[in-house]
Amino acid sequence: MQQKRFTIITNKSDESIDAAKDLSSKLLVLKMIFDEQNPEIVFTIGGDGTFLSAINRFNENIDNIHFITINTGNIGFNALYQVNEIDKLITNLKNNILKTKSLDALKITINNKNFYSLNEIKLISIAKTIFFTVYINNQLLQNCQSSGFVLATKTGSTGYIKSINGAVILSEKNLMEFLEIAPVFHSKHNSLKASLILDNTHMITIKGNMKDVFLVIDSQKHDFNSDNLIINLIANKIKILVTDVNDLIMIKQIQKTFIHN
């Protein structure tokens, strides 16, 4: 194993914190270098929320980082290792058998600043109906009157968007899904009333009066002081380390998480 800079992100559980101490000591034995500011490998210990939080934390340096996920949460949809498999992980690192698997990400541009999302972006108003316009590749699609919208990657299609009757995307193609949240329908206003599946050739632009709304990128709330939001799907943006490129294959994760008893 080449010397690599690493850091560890955990949730607040005692189990995760203890696992991080154990993992750190074993990585140092491998001559890896602890570096919180500029890591090459980020280990996450917790659930999917911990992984998403780590992506958010290292957003500006995402191109130079590989993630390794260790589960102590309830589901761990994106987790490769369980917390009792740290020795197995160390062996895999020592033998240099881990491979890169790349995941799609949403690129969100606000006031010329970019953010990346593995799962979804939500624009939500909890106080009132908001009005906004959706353009696809600069062509008008629809005017919306609703509580907001969610836009999800295929990875994120099993999350929030599924809970509001969106589709689960199984395709290996680079796809994303747009759906309004609690849209208003009446005689003077109408819209698509369905999930819209798009690919990475589509640029989505949202325009409107966005005051008093929440912008949430992978469960992280962001300040939003703009009336213009641009979103693209960037293929193979976020890199994780796996033992086999078929690890975390979507259909297996769906079966394990939602169907298996």
CB 48, CB 111: distance < 8 Å: no
CB 58, CB 50: distance < 8 Å: no
The DSSP symbol for 182 reads S
Residues 216-243: what's their mean pLDDT? 90
Domains of the chain and CATH, by start: 5-97 (3.40.50.10330), 105-235 (2.60.200.30)
In whole angstroms, give the CA distance from residue 240 to residue 236: 10
CA 49 to chain centre: 9
CB 40, CB 93: distance < 8 Å: no
Tens digits of residue pLDDT in 44-67: 999 888 999 999 999 989 999 999
pTM for the whole thing?
0.86
What is the pLDDT at residue 254? 63
What is the pLDDT at residue 3? 78
In whole angstroms, give the CA distance from residue 215 to residue 124: 7
Tens digits of residue pLDDT in 90-122: 999 999 999 998 999 999 999 888 999 999 999
Helices 14-29, 86-94: inter-axial angle, 10-degree rounding: 20
Paired tokens of 5:
């800079």
Residue 204 pairs with which residues in a beta bridge? 136, 231
Radius of gyration of the chain (CA): 20
Residues 6 or more apart in contact with residue 137 via CB below 8 angstroms: 201, 202, 203
Residues 231-242: what's their mean pLDDT? 94
Amino acid identity for residue 22 in this structure:
D
pLDDT band at residue 80 under the 50/70/90 scheme: confident
What is the pLDDT at residue 48? 85
Tell me: pLDDT of 248 over 60. no
